[in-house]
Structure 1
């Protein structure tokens, strides 16, 4: 009897447990091979010290070891998946390639190329839903259109959801794993991939075990999430974003935790997970939003901000402590607290009058948890150009935001030690201090503000008001 063979192509799902495509492969074929491709199209766009490569490389290595423990192995390749995946499927005699669906424009284009090549060779690409609870067209309005406002989407999500949707997919421990050869090539090193040591210390440890540990520890903090999540100086958030991004923790595991507790903190966190899906379905239906303002009225908006202001923002030299501390956190760890993402985005667009796409691109280059849908959605929300954006006339005041969400300056002191000696009031706006510590010189010890918030706010209102 001829055995049916399949290839499981791991991408944003770097785990064996609770994996939709892996389950499909094991349920429908006799023999399963595993492959991961370091996509050269993506890698060539990254800096040589990109810390995400270290995270991914570790997780892939962990996955390879897990497969070896089950009698198989993971073939790890480097190159163009549109070429390598069909070639590997043909070389191994696989009739089907299984993978979990990715909703980003590049991934959709790549997968279409792979599917066409496989079809031409007499095999097929099967894509499964794995990184969201509801995907694509599964949640539509009464007019059969995509949701473009979060609250109605959230209500529809909650109404449609039932606990079985968060159950993990069954274990595939009995799968008949096979190596792709007795002398399987070793996994390429970071150096062989063209990457060196990262210049930052990542905020999150890589790998599935690290992700599950974070999930377990967050269980104890979850009841207080709604009260602590906006305070960057407090350990109130989950830290799971990078693990959800690369699939070392599944969305079902996260949602299962959220629904396991009946309290305000758990409900609030579930809404954050729903926001993630809202932006995923939005990008699926409106891929053009990845490159232009969702709202047509703002597509021709000319931002008059100075380029050197953008450089100061990137380097944490704006003279606004909460903004600068947030940018230092990003530059040093590859992570930024969500409240701070809103503050610095508003400041870049509404105070410095810089195109939101500049900030989005900087985040894309720096964030360990970078996800195109969430990053784009968040930036367009802050810039008032998105589908469910804050109105253009609501502009974050960086000083009052700082006073409200870092009242004792704990976060600011952590990333701006030159301000440590300032009192809890002066640390939010040193230029307004009646008395500064001995030896502290504004403009030398710490920059003076590069713009006046009140003046820039009026400029932003005028700029955006013309288009509304």
Structure 2
């Protein structure tokens, strides 16, 4: 192995060569850059579906990156295993001067990165981290007393007021640089190497039209309308730049920018209160006695609740790995309020199924629906599936697409009656909070 000095850039949730802050900084350095990606066995070994679409998505984009690097005489090195073990071997094999990476704010990632930083420090290797997948970092937008916001509206105002042209500034394309470490062609690991097969799910494109952005505010709540960006999975894995997307949305859709604002608010909550991964944000809700009926949960998972809008959403999720955001709120409210099933059950199911699963947003959304999270609205917000249908799918186009038999005799009978379920929910929460 060569002992020529190198810098290593570690791809994680930033799977692109364009406008990639950490990669840009590495390429600006005086040593050639060796890019790597680690298929973290501690994460992917826990995947139940051996054709998990997210892994296929990651693999596809790594392949695209590697093809571009091959044209430069470089390669993306890929590894499978525990990051700590792999990094120890890398530092043996290469004369590493610096490690470059973009920051990840999830609890597991923070712990993992701290371990790698300690290894680097022991060997006097610089460890360089950068902001890349957010506009504001989780500790950047705080109250005047230095504490984090725990209510969205005041946070959103300061988040928006704190944006400067610098937050939208992109870094030059990596294609302008030739400072990659030259290495013979190194094919990336195959899915089969890790015990997986290719998924057949179709991932939406990584672009959104200006037309959709301009009409986003009026169309985004209607699941039968092509009115949302469908960019969640690309934001999750960084196959698009948050800065370029915000630039595109600026001046076209304040509502869309507000969605990016929500995304970062939940990053704030997870960063400052990592206990929310398994606990209620509002601890006084710990006394809620969830019914957790397994048969009803299974009916919900399969889209057989007898409520067409709920069933449509769950069937869309199971078939495509996606669910319209308005419908996500409806199905989450139904599970936690109508069926009184612990939000953690629903959150875990979404985590398995959603292509765009992101811990902070998924957790925040589920706790919002359950009333246990940061939202100032009390627990008595209970969506009525029928009124939600009349409002957001009035022509039943979405329902007909996913539940074609909803008017037939063989369609499932409602597993719970709305009025009775609402009263049961209100009583349960009142008793818990008394």
**TM-score (normalizing by structure 2):** 0.96
Deviations 1:270-297 (A, max 9, x none): 0000100111111111111111000010
Shift of 1:32: 0.5
- Could you tell me which residue of structure 2 aligns to residue 178 of structure 1? 181
- Could you tell me which residue of structure 2 aligns to residue 87 of structure 1? 89
2:277 is the alignment partner of 1:290: yes
For 2:254, which of 252, 259, 267 is the aligned residue? Answer: 267
2:20 is the alignment partner of 1:29: no
- Could you tell me which residue of structure 2 aligns to residue 427 of structure 1? none
Equivalent residues in 2 for 1:204-219 (5 A)? 204-205=203-204, 210-211=205-206, 214-215=207-208, 218-219=209-210
- Could you tell me which residue of structure 2 aligns to residue 364 of structure 1? 351
Alignment root-mean-square deviation, CA: 1.5
Shift of 1:4: 4.8
Does the CA-based 8 Å contact 1:89-1:95 persist in structure 2? no
Indicate the SS of the match to 1:373.
helix
Shift of 1:153: 0.8
Name segments (4+ residues, structure 1) moved above 6 Å.
Answer: none
- Could you tell me which residue of structure 2 aligns to residue 432 of structure 1? none
Cα separation, 2, equivalents of 1:70 and 1:282: 41
2:64 is the alignment partner of 1:62: yes
- Could you tell me which residue of structure 2 aligns to residue 8 of structure 1? 9
- Could you tell me which residue of structure 2 aligns to residue 428 of structure 1? none
Does the CA-based 8 Å contact 1:294-1:386 persist in structure 2? yes
Greater shift, 230-239 or 66-75, is seen at 66-75
Cα separation, 2, equivalents of 1:222 and 1:271: 12
Cα separation, 2, equivalents of 1:384 and 1:130: 31
Does the CA-based 8 Å contact 1:4-1:29 persist in structure 2? no
Cα separation, 2, equivalents of 1:68 and 1:389: 52
Cα separation, 1, equivalents of 2:318 and 2:131: 34
Does the CA-based 8 Å contact 1:35-1:74 persist in structure 2? yes
Equivalent residues in 2 for 1:229-378 (5 A)? 229-261=220-252, 266-378=253-365
2:101 is the alignment partner of 1:99: yes
Cα separation, 1, equivalents of 2:264 and 2:10: 23
2:40 is the alignment partner of 1:39: yes
Cα separation, 2, equivalents of 1:258 and 1:89: 42
Indicate the SS of the match to 1:417.
coil
- Could you tell me which residue of structure 2 aligns to residue 435 of structure 1? none
Shift of 1:29: 3.2
Shift of 1:378: 0.3
Cα separation, 2, equivalents of 1:128 and 1:13: 11
Indicate the SS of the match to 1:418.
coil
Does the CA-based 8 Å contact 1:85-1:114 persist in structure 2? yes
Does the CA-based 8 Å contact 1:303-1:355 persist in structure 2? yes
Cα separation, 2, equivalents of 1:305 and 1:11: 36
Cα separation, 2, equivalents of 1:461 and 1:6: 58
- Could you tell me which residue of structure 2 aligns to residue 461 of structure 1? 426
Deviations 1:45-75 (A, max 9, x none): 1021211111111011111112122331100
Greater shift, 85-94 or 343-352, is seen at 85-94
Shift of 1:466: 2.2
Cα separation, 1, equivalents of 2:116 and 2:287: 36
Which runs of 5 or more residues in structure 2 are unaligned? none
Cα separation, 1, equivalents of 2:325 and 2:92: 45
2:369 is the alignment partner of 1:382: yes
Cα separation, 2, equivalents of 1:369 and 1:113: 27
Deviations 1:245-268 (A, max 9, x none): 11010110111111143xxxx000
Shift of 1:310: 0.3
Matched residue count: 429
Shift of 1:185: 4.1
- Could you tell me which residue of structure 2 aligns to residue 425 of structure 1? none
